[in-house]
Amino acid sequence: MTTHHDPPATPRSDTGGWVPPRTAPERRPGPAGPRQPLPGRLWRGRPEDPRWVRPAFLGLLAATLLLYLHNLSASGYANSFYSAAVQAGSTSWKAFFFGSLDAGNAITVDKPPASLWPMELSVRVFGLRSWAILAPEVLMGVATVAVVYAAVRRRFSPVAGLTAGAVLALTPVAALMFRFNNPDAMLALLMAVACYLVVRAVEDGRTRWLVWAGLAIGFAFLAKTLQAFLILPPLAIVYAVCAPVPWRKRFGQLAAATLALVVAGGWWVAVVELWPASSRPYIGGSQHNSFLELTFGYNGLGRLNGDETGSMGGGGGGNGAGRWGETGWDRMFGSETGGQVSWLLPAALILLAAGLVATRKLRRTSVTRASFLVWGGSLLMTMAVFSYMAGIFHQYYTVALAPYLAAVTGMGAGLLWERRRRPWASITLAVSVVAAAAWGYVLLNRTPDYLPWLKWLVLTGGLVAAFGLVFAGRITRRLALGAAAVGLVAALAGPTAYTLSTLQEGHTGSIVTAGPAGASMMGGPGGGPGGGGVRGGFGGAMPSRQGQQGGQGQQGQQGGLGGPGAGFPGAGGPGGGMPGGSQQNGNGPSQMQPGQQGRPGGPNGNGFPGGGTGEGGMGGSGGLLNGASVSAEARRLLEKNAARYTWVAASVGSQNAAGYQLATGDPVMAIGGFNGTDPSPTLAQFKKYVAEGKIHYFIAGGGAGPGGGSGSGTASRISSWVQSNFQKVTAGSATFYDLTQKASG
């Protein structure tokens, strides 16, 4: 029943209720009137939309773009591991294709190269600088917001689409990773595109949409391997059940989509596997120079069961504390991860359940229900895997959840709002607002010194809004809209504050988190039970803001890579920092980019960026997370006669090599790959390179990995051979060995 406050309504069988005509009809809309010129269509949007809709959408995209571009260069080279690969790919097409860490093509990064390609093309055009590397990631973030808006808007109201887009843009981990050079930005974009395309396929049963979805997931595989396949089960099941075509055709279409996926993701794999190993770079992260081994081992099943050969060690299953944090059903809500992504997760789960209940009696081919199943199924599937994976897990992985969570929130809120005259719908909508506000209060209370007044504002605003929403179907539309607006502000206030805090700081290294200091406490490798917490698990005092804070670990929390007597086997120094470090206690200078000031680490071996490493060393464990800082003297030494050599230097561990490569712009060989544990090059190969005059210097003290400061056995043998046979050279505080000068005596 409508009132004079609402526009005329028309029935729609898909939702089972009365909805305003602005909601997309179940059938495919046909052309409306003469086709306008492109500028007019871009500004006006759908002819049936109110005039404010398209400007509001464009405003959302513009605001997201400006927000994410703010202070972008503060992160410098961000993750120097990938930035070094970008630098290499911008100067060598072979490095571009294979994803090599260096232009000499000694070894690749431990992922496929698709996520590097946009950054490498940008650097080819604009030169090697921070914004040229990170701006493509920002554009991917804006594109993801646009895709989520389009998906929700197509089936629900414009406000629902705008809400979903805003939720995504203001999720702290999204604001972090869409400004960072890890593969996760491309992965999140392509997964959102795949969900959108599958819903389009359910809408009209056309094969092309499903094939495009397969292509998107296949290309996502080339960004982050098997993580791209996490949402395949819900997408395939939803289409198989809900598509409006005969079942034989459905399975034929799924087969075509699978073929598209295999082609999109498999062409590069086939080339790499068939390419002679002697003329391509070693596959970083593998133990036998095989990308398939890397895919199904270190980057595949190893992430689930913790059996990751060559890594720093896995985690624990069940509800125990693992080396990569606690696993269990509540992992996404815990102190390690909650502040990154879970702000609206309780509300989203309530809205998802409500959406499925509301559409339970609709026909099999209902697109509205299929939308909830596609986005909600992707959310639940990814949550489940993240919650129980016992291998390497970092908080920033949760950016993969952000598009699904945002879409479910927008869809659920939109559906319940249209049905608000029904008591169950208005009450459920109110409950979701209370859940968001209460959980926001809990998360804000975990950082009690950060805006202490905000948690009370969030809680109070949420309760007031919920009271109004309970009666949303019986009060005037203006009052109901006011209550909804207050509820939205209360729900988004916490994540917005964390997002703004994230944007104000630079983020460097391999492990980064969003929000203010102390927002994420995570036990790292070696942390285990009792070693938990970001500040206690790694290096005795891992900063929760990379490159921003060192400080001491939590009282009574030792372990990880730097509490007294802790660290990897063989770890030394009073703080148990990684051996081979140039600083006694692992408290080297910051490894941040020029112009960024890090704080020194505390006395227990803290050594992550900002609690950093010394030149060429691995003080604490910082070199494992970010490239070494390089002095002007060291840079001049390496740049002298650099053109004569394939590699100006070699160093154990990719991060240490990356720091020198970015400083000089010349290739630096990473012995042993990221952790120093890959058997590449062998001692015989390294001797051959030296005899042929391809490497000028060996950088001392670049160890990384569970075996101690020299990385793997292969890296250790190379280090010992170099130190016994070649002349030592000092530049600044770093030590080198000149591989063209034999040691005297």
Residues 6+ apart with CB under 8 A from 386: 331, 332, 393, 397, 398, 400, 401
DSSP 161-201: HHHHHHHHHT-HHHHHHTTS-STHHHHHHHHHHHHHHHHHH
Give the chain's mean pLDDT: 81
Residues 6+ apart with CB under 8 A from 712: 310, 672, 676, 677, 678, 679, 705
pLDDT of residue 521: 60
Bigger pLDDT: 460 or 9?
Answer: 460
Residue 36 pLDDT level (bands cut at 50, 70, 90): low
Residues 6+ apart with CB under 8 A from 480: 420, 468, 469, 472, 473
- For 411-454, the pLDDT digits (tens) are 999 999 999 999 999 999 999 999 999 999 999 999 999 999 99
pLDDT of residue 577: 34
Q: To the nearest whole percent, how much of the chain has pLDDT over 70?
A: 76
pLDDT of residue 322: 55
**Residue 513 scores a pLDDT above 50:** yes
Residue 146 pLDDT level (bands cut at 50, 70, 90): very high
Region label for 463, one of left (φ > 0), alpha (ψ between -120 and 50) or beta (otherwise): alpha
pLDDT of residue 567: 33
pLDDT of residue 728: 94
- The candidate with the shortest Cα–Cα distance to 184, out of 257, 244, 111, is 111
- For 637-686, the pLDDT digits (tens) are 999 999 999 999 999 999 999 999 999 999 999 999 988 889 999 999 99
**Residue 23 scores a pLDDT above 90:** no
Contact assessment for residue 601 and residue 565, using Cβ atoms and an 8 Å cutoff: no
Alpha-helix runs per DSSP H in 226-341: 232-242, 247-274, 291-296, 302-305, 338-341
Contact assessment for residue 295 and residue 225, using Cβ atoms and an 8 Å cutoff: yes
Residue 13 pLDDT level (bands cut at 50, 70, 90): very low
Residue 590 pLDDT level (bands cut at 50, 70, 90): very low
> What H or E segment, with its residue span, contains residue 737?
strand 734-742
**Residue 315 scores a pLDDT above 90:** no
Bigger pLDDT: 410 or 553?
Answer: 410
- For 271-290, the pLDDT digits (tens) are 999 999 999 999 999 999 99
**Rounded mean pLDDT, 230-234:** 97
pLDDT of residue 611: 31
> What H or E segment, with its residue span, contains residue 458?
helix 454-470
**Rounded mean pLDDT, 532-560:** 34
**Rounded mean pLDDT, 100-125:** 97
**Rounded mean pLDDT, 394-409:** 97
Annotated domain spans of the chain: 53-72+136-501, 632-742
- The candidate with the shortest Cα–Cα distance to 742, out of 691, 702, 684, 708, is 691
pLDDT of residue 298: 78
pLDDT of residue 30: 43
